[in-house]
Amino acid sequence: MSLLSSVTSPADLRTLPAAELPRLADEIRDFLIDAVTRTGGHLGPNLGVVELTIALHRVFHSPHDRIVWDTGHQSYVHKLLTGRQDFSGLRSRGGLSGYPSRAESEHDLVENSHASTALSYADGLAKAAQLLGQHDRHTVAVIGDGALTGGLAWEALNNIAAAKDRPLVIVVNDNERSYARTIGGLANHLATLRTTRGYERFLSWGKGTLQRTPVVGPPIYDALHGAKKGFKDAFAPQGMFEDLGLKYLGPIDGHDVAALESALGKARGFGGPVIVHCLTVKGRGYLPAEQDEADRFHAVNPIDPYTCLPISPSGGVSWTSVFGDELLAVGAERPDVVAITAAMLQPVGLAKFAKAYPERTFDVGIAEQHAVTSAAGLATGGLHPVVAVYATFLNRAFDQVLMDVALHRLGVTFVLDRSGVTGPDGASHNGMWDMSILQVVPGLRLAAPRDADELRAQLREAVDVADAPTVVRFPKATIGPAVPAVERIGGVDVLLRTGELPEILLVTVGTTAAAGLDAARLLLAEGFTTTVVDPRWVKPVDPALPLLAAEHRLVVTVEDNGRTGGVGAAVAQALRDADVDVPVRVLGLPQEFLGHAARGELLEETGLTGTGVAAQTAAFAKHLLPDRGLPDRELPNR
* Angle made by CA atoms 396, 67, 100, in degrees to the nearest 5: 55
Q: Which of 338, 422, 425 is nearest to 385 (CA)?
A: 338
Polymer length of the chain: 638
Beta bridge partners of 487: 494
3 state DSSP class of 95: coil
Question: What DSSP string runs through 571-599?
Answer: HHHHHHHTT----EEEEEE-SS-PPS--H
Yes or no: say if 559 and 509 are a contact pair by the CB < 8 Å rule: yes
Instruction: Report the DSSP beta bridge partners of residue 363.
Output: 341
Among 359, 308, 322, CA closest to 337: 359
User: What backbone torsions phi and psi does residue 415 show, to the nearest 5 degrees?
Assistant: -110, 115
The verdict on whether residue 114 carries a ligand-binding annotation is yes
DSSP state of 495: E
Q: Any known ligand binding at 57? A: no
DSSP-H helix ranges across 272-390: 287-290, 319-333, 351-356, 368-380
| Rounded Cα gap, residues 244 and 237, in angstroms | 13
147 is in an annotated binding site: yes
Which residue, 413, 415, 410, is CA-closest to 381? 410
Question: Would you say 385 and 168 are in contact if contact means Cβ atoms under 8 Å apart?
Answer: no
Is 113 annotated as ligand-binding? yes
**Is 263 annotated to bind ligand?**
no
Answer yes or no: is 175 a known binding residue.
Answer: yes
Say whether 368 counts as a known binding-site residue. yes
Q: At what angle do helices 513-525 and 610-624 cross, to 10 degrees?
A: 50
425 is in an annotated binding site: no
427-to-100, 308, 359 alpha-carbon distances in Å:
12, 29, 36
DSSP 318: B
Task: Give the side-chain half-sphere CA count within 13 A for 310.
Answer: 6
Q: Which residues are catalytic?
A: 282, 368, 396
What span, in angstroms and rounded, lies between the C-alpha atoms of 423 and 132? 39
b/e map of 432-445 (b: 16 or more CB within 10 Å)? Answer: bbbbbbbbebebbb
- 73 appears as a binding residue in the annotation: yes
146 marked as part of a ligand binding site: yes
Q: Which residues are annotated as a binding site?
A: 73, 113-115, 145-147, 175, 286, 368
**Which residues are known binding-site members for Mg(2+)?**
145, 175
Q: Which residues are annotated as a binding site for thiamine diphosphate?
A: 73, 113-115, 146-147, 175, 286, 368
